[in-house]
């Protein structure tokens, strides 16, 4: 079972998942469009799994890492990892969101945001774009995904491994991160970009302050 973003698989005619050195056709097991989450199922056994943390216990300033396959056309399809912090915890449209300053680009959507113990605390979903914006990404808190897992009878481990350094953490998490390829109905395979968030123009006084 794999978690990803709803907007990654929305309208897909075919989905393939590359993980553990093999490629599998995936089926959509559950969707939560409101929280931009989807649950995929592949016919494979013995794969690595990630523990699921508690996003309600995530603190502002906590170290996190984002895993994914950004900008494949330029950077290749090997896994990329970026480190940052939880730079904001806020509510948008009556839903809690995690803001992070880890590098988030098209191709990161659906990837795990993990804490220092290797537990997933969020699913990377979007970034802000604009001339006056830099390093602002968002993740869906993993506690929303727990409801999707529960509704489909999927159990997840919850215990991470505290005290890992960067390379050890990456080595532990990487085998459980999958590359999802999506074919639109009647179309060719396409990477699903992170949804760009519109940036409202700043007020005149704010513009002066930025200058």
List the beta bridge partners of residue 197: 128
From the list 142, 67, 132, the residue with the least C-alpha distance to 105 is 67
Respond yes or no: is residue 24 known to be catalytic: no
Residues 6+ apart with CB under 8 A from 206: none
| Residue of 36, 55, 125, 181 with catalytic role | 36
| Residue of 24, 35, 55, 109 with catalytic role | 109
Residues 6+ apart with CB under 8 A from 13: 183, 184, 185, 186, 187
Helix (H, G, I), strand (E, B) or coil at 29: strand
d(CA 25, CA 45): 14
Respond yes or no: is residue 174 known to be catalytic: no
Respond yes or no: is residue 7 known to be catalytic: yes
Catalytic sites, residue numbers: 7, 36, 109
């Amino acid at each position: 079972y794999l978690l990803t973003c709803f907007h990654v698989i929305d309208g897909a005619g075919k989905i393939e998942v590359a993980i553990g050195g093999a490629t599998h056709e995936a089926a959509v097991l559950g969707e939560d469009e409101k929280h931009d989450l989807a649950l995929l199922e592949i016919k494979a056994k013995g794969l690595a799994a990630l523990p699921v943390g508690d996003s309600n216990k995530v603190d502002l300033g906590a170290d996190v890492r984002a895993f994914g396959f950004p900008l494949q056309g330029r950077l290749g399809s090997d896994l990329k990892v970026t480190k940052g912090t939880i730079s904001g915890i806020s509510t948008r449209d009556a839903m809690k969101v995690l803001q992070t300053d880890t590098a988030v680009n098209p191709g990161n959507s659906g990837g795990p945001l993990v804490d220092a113990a290797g537990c997933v605390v969020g699913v990377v979903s979007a970034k802000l774009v604009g001339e006056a914006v830099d390093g602002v990404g968002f993740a869906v808190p993993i506690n929303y995904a727990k409801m999707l897992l529960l509704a489909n009878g999927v159990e997840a481990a919850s215990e991470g491994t505290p005290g890992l350094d960067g390379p050890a953490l990456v080595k532990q998490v990487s085998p459980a991160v999958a590359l999802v390829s999506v074919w639109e109905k009647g179309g060719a395979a396409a990477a699903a970009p992170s949804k760009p968030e519109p940036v409202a123009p700043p007020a005149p006084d704010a513009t002066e302050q930025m200058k």
